[in-house]
Amino acid sequence: MSKYTISYDNMADVLYIIVKKAKATQTILDDDYIAIRTIDNDLCGLTIDGFKDRHDDNSWKDIFITKYIADFNLDELPKIN
């Protein structure tokens, strides 16, 4: 069982990874256009726009997640078609 809540919005092509169920007070967009959501500098979650598109154009990198959540099990990511 995952300690994270993972959801994917197929229509919007957005992957959400929730680390803490709390309302983030700050959102930072990194150089890879990953939205990092925090409360008092503690990670609440990640929002990754273009999840499927990044796979389709081969620009996906697992580090998009693991640089923020080192112990994240990448096998838990949704399979995309």
List the chain domain ranges: 5-72
Collapse the DSSP code of 9 into the 3-class scheme (helix H, G, I; strand E, B; otherwise coil) and give the result.
strand
pLDDT average, residue stretch 42-70: 95
72 has pLDDT over 90 = yes
Amino acid at 42: D
Mean pLDDT score of the chain: 93
d(CA 53, CA 37): 22
Whole-number pLDDT of residue 32: 95
Is 47:29 a contact under the CB 8 Å cutoff? no
Give yes or no for residue 22 having a pLDDT over 80.
Answer: yes
pLDDT bracket for residue 48 (50, 70, 90): very high
Contact 69, 17 (CB under 8 A): yes
